[in-house]
Structure 1
Amino acid sequence: MNAAQAEKWRKTRTMGKGKYVMLFGVLSWGISLAALFTAIEWLTQQTFTPYWVYIRLGVMAVVGFFVANFRWESREQKLRQLEQPQAPKKR
Protein backbone atom coordinates (compact mmCIF):
# COMPACT_ATOMS: atom_id res chain seq x y z
CA MET A 1 0.00 0.00 0.00
CA ASN A 2 1.46 3.35 -0.99
CA ALA A 3 0.75 6.74 0.55
CA ALA A 4 -2.05 7.64 -1.90
CA GLN A 5 -3.81 4.31 -1.34
CA ALA A 6 -3.41 4.72 2.42
CA GLU A 7 -4.98 8.18 2.33
CA LYS A 8 -7.90 6.91 0.23
CA TRP A 9 -8.39 4.02 2.66
CA ARG A 10 -8.33 6.40 5.65
CA LYS A 11 -11.21 8.32 4.06
CA THR A 12 -13.12 5.15 3.20
CA ARG A 13 -12.74 3.63 6.64
CA THR A 14 -14.48 6.61 8.26
CA MET A 15 -17.80 5.07 7.15
CA GLY A 16 -17.21 2.16 9.50
CA LYS A 17 -16.85 -1.53 8.91
CA GLY A 18 -20.56 -2.36 9.00
CA LYS A 19 -21.55 0.21 6.39
CA TYR A 20 -18.53 -0.71 4.23
CA VAL A 21 -19.43 -4.40 4.28
CA MET A 22 -23.07 -3.70 3.49
CA LEU A 23 -22.34 -1.22 0.69
CA PHE A 24 -19.31 -2.80 -1.00
CA GLY A 25 -20.03 -6.41 -0.14
CA VAL A 26 -23.66 -7.31 0.27
CA LEU A 27 -25.09 -4.76 -2.15
CA SER A 28 -22.31 -4.45 -4.72
CA TRP A 29 -21.09 -8.04 -4.86
CA GLY A 30 -24.43 -9.63 -4.02
CA ILE A 31 -26.53 -7.85 -6.61
CA SER A 32 -23.81 -7.89 -9.27
CA LEU A 33 -23.11 -11.61 -8.99
CA ALA A 34 -26.79 -12.51 -8.80
CA ALA A 35 -27.44 -10.46 -11.95
CA LEU A 36 -24.45 -12.06 -13.69
CA PHE A 37 -25.56 -15.61 -12.92
CA THR A 38 -29.15 -14.80 -13.88
CA ALA A 39 -27.90 -13.40 -17.20
CA ILE A 40 -25.84 -16.55 -17.75
CA GLU A 41 -28.94 -18.64 -17.06
CA TRP A 42 -30.92 -16.53 -19.52
CA LEU A 43 -28.24 -16.79 -22.23
CA THR A 44 -27.73 -20.53 -21.88
CA GLN A 45 -31.31 -21.64 -21.28
CA GLN A 46 -33.37 -18.75 -22.74
CA THR A 47 -35.38 -18.65 -19.51
CA PHE A 48 -34.93 -17.93 -15.85
CA THR A 49 -36.72 -19.05 -12.74
CA PRO A 50 -37.66 -16.29 -10.27
CA TYR A 51 -37.22 -18.76 -7.40
CA TRP A 52 -33.53 -19.15 -8.32
CA VAL A 53 -33.09 -15.37 -8.55
CA TYR A 54 -34.05 -15.08 -4.87
CA ILE A 55 -31.73 -17.91 -3.92
CA ARG A 56 -28.89 -16.31 -5.89
CA LEU A 57 -29.49 -12.96 -4.20
CA GLY A 58 -29.27 -14.58 -0.77
CA VAL A 59 -26.22 -16.71 -1.52
CA MET A 60 -24.35 -13.96 -3.33
CA ALA A 61 -25.12 -11.49 -0.53
CA VAL A 62 -23.41 -13.88 1.89
CA VAL A 63 -20.47 -14.24 -0.52
CA GLY A 64 -20.27 -10.46 -0.79
CA PHE A 65 -20.32 -10.15 2.99
CA PHE A 66 -17.26 -12.39 3.31
CA VAL A 67 -15.43 -10.74 0.40
CA ALA A 68 -15.90 -7.25 1.83
CA ASN A 69 -15.03 -8.42 5.34
CA PHE A 70 -11.76 -9.95 4.13
CA ARG A 71 -10.96 -6.84 2.07
CA TRP A 72 -11.55 -4.63 5.13
CA GLU A 73 -9.26 -6.74 7.29
CA SER A 74 -6.59 -6.92 4.58
CA ARG A 75 -6.54 -3.16 4.06
CA GLU A 76 -6.49 -2.50 7.79
CA GLN A 77 -3.48 -4.80 8.14
CA LYS A 78 -1.68 -3.09 5.25
CA LEU A 79 -2.40 0.32 6.79
CA ARG A 80 -1.04 -0.82 10.18
CA GLN A 81 2.13 -2.08 8.48
CA LEU A 82 2.55 1.23 6.68
CA GLU A 83 2.06 3.27 9.85
CA GLN A 84 4.28 1.02 11.96
CA PRO A 85 7.79 2.40 12.36
CA GLN A 86 10.33 0.29 10.56
CA ALA A 87 12.92 -1.31 12.81
CA PRO A 88 16.46 -1.32 11.45
CA LYS A 89 17.60 -4.67 10.11
CA LYS A 90 20.33 -6.44 12.05
CA ARG A 91 23.15 -8.16 10.26
Structure 2
Amino acid sequence: MSGMNEAQAAKWSRRRQMGKAKYVMYLGVAAWGFILTGLTTLSEWLTMGTYTPNWFFARLVVFSFIGFFVMNLRWENQERKFKERK
Protein backbone atom coordinates (compact mmCIF):
# COMPACT_ATOMS: atom_id res chain seq x y z
CA MET A 1 0.00 0.00 0.00
CA SER A 2 1.06 3.52 -0.58
CA GLY A 3 1.55 6.18 2.04
CA MET A 4 -0.68 9.16 2.63
CA ASN A 5 -1.04 12.25 0.54
CA GLU A 6 -0.33 15.59 2.22
CA ALA A 7 -3.97 16.32 3.13
CA GLN A 8 -4.37 12.92 4.75
CA ALA A 9 -1.05 13.32 6.55
CA ALA A 10 -2.09 16.71 7.92
CA LYS A 11 -5.39 15.31 9.17
CA TRP A 12 -3.67 12.30 10.75
CA SER A 13 -1.03 14.55 12.32
CA ARG A 14 -3.77 16.45 14.16
CA ARG A 15 -5.61 13.26 15.09
CA ARG A 16 -2.52 11.48 16.41
CA GLN A 17 -1.85 14.29 18.89
CA MET A 18 -4.56 12.83 21.12
CA GLY A 19 -2.40 9.72 21.55
CA LYS A 20 -3.15 6.09 20.90
CA ALA A 21 -4.93 5.41 24.19
CA LYS A 22 -7.43 8.25 23.80
CA TYR A 23 -7.89 7.50 20.10
CA VAL A 24 -8.76 3.87 20.80
CA MET A 25 -10.93 4.65 23.83
CA TYR A 26 -12.90 7.53 22.29
CA LEU A 27 -13.31 6.31 18.74
CA GLY A 28 -13.22 2.58 19.35
CA VAL A 29 -14.70 1.77 22.71
CA ALA A 30 -17.01 4.76 23.14
CA ALA A 31 -18.05 5.52 19.57
CA TRP A 32 -18.26 1.97 18.23
CA GLY A 33 -19.65 0.61 21.47
CA PHE A 34 -22.41 3.16 21.96
CA ILE A 35 -23.36 3.73 18.33
CA LEU A 36 -23.57 0.06 17.35
CA THR A 37 -25.33 -0.84 20.60
CA GLY A 38 -27.84 1.93 20.01
CA LEU A 39 -28.45 0.93 16.40
CA THR A 40 -28.94 -2.76 17.14
CA THR A 41 -31.15 -2.01 20.14
CA LEU A 42 -33.23 0.36 18.01
CA SER A 43 -33.47 -2.33 15.34
CA GLU A 44 -34.61 -4.82 17.98
CA TRP A 45 -37.26 -2.43 19.23
CA LEU A 46 -38.52 -1.54 15.73
CA THR A 47 -38.69 -5.11 14.44
CA MET A 48 -39.83 -6.98 17.54
CA GLY A 49 -41.51 -4.22 19.51
CA THR A 50 -39.52 -5.09 22.60
CA TYR A 51 -36.34 -4.09 24.39
CA THR A 52 -34.23 -6.52 26.43
CA PRO A 53 -31.91 -4.79 28.94
CA ASN A 54 -29.66 -7.85 29.26
CA TRP A 55 -29.04 -7.83 25.51
CA PHE A 56 -28.32 -4.10 25.65
CA PHE A 57 -25.46 -4.62 28.10
CA ALA A 58 -24.18 -7.69 26.27
CA ARG A 59 -24.09 -5.71 23.01
CA LEU A 60 -22.34 -2.83 24.71
CA VAL A 61 -19.56 -5.10 25.95
CA VAL A 62 -19.18 -6.96 22.65
CA PHE A 63 -19.25 -3.87 20.42
CA SER A 64 -16.85 -2.04 22.72
CA PHE A 65 -14.36 -4.90 22.46
CA ILE A 66 -14.75 -4.97 18.68
CA GLY A 67 -14.26 -1.21 18.54
CA PHE A 68 -11.14 -1.48 20.68
CA PHE A 69 -9.51 -3.97 18.33
CA VAL A 70 -10.63 -2.26 15.12
CA MET A 71 -9.38 1.16 16.18
CA ASN A 72 -6.15 -0.30 17.52
CA LEU A 73 -5.49 -1.84 14.09
CA ARG A 74 -6.53 1.39 12.40
CA TRP A 75 -4.05 3.37 14.52
CA GLU A 76 -1.23 1.01 13.55
CA ASN A 77 -2.19 1.17 9.87
CA GLN A 78 -2.39 4.97 9.87
CA GLU A 79 0.96 5.26 11.65
CA ARG A 80 2.57 2.97 9.08
CA LYS A 81 1.17 5.00 6.20
CA PHE A 82 2.21 8.25 7.90
CA LYS A 83 5.79 7.03 8.23
CA GLU A 84 5.90 5.68 4.65
CA ARG A 85 5.08 9.08 3.22
CA LYS A 86 8.39 10.56 4.42
Gaps of 5+ in 1: 84-91
| RMSD after superposition | 0.7
Which TM-score applies when normalising by structure 1?
A: 0.88
Distance in 2 (alpha carbons) for counterparts of 1:33 and 1:66: 15
Gaps of 5+ in 2: none
The count of aligned residue pairs is 83
Identity percentage over the alignment? 52
Match of 1:15 among 5, 15, 18: 18
Q: Which structure has more RCO (C-alpha within 8 Å, separation ≥ 6)?
A: 2
Match of 2:33 among 30, 35, 43: 30
How many angstroms does 1:10 deviate by?
0.9
Which TM-score applies when normalising by structure 2?
A: 0.93
Q: What is aligned with 2:8?
A: 5
Q: What is aligned with 1:39?
A: 42
Report runs of 4+ in structure 1 exceeding 6 Å deviation. none
Distance in 2 (alpha carbons) for counterparts of 1:77 and 1:41: 39
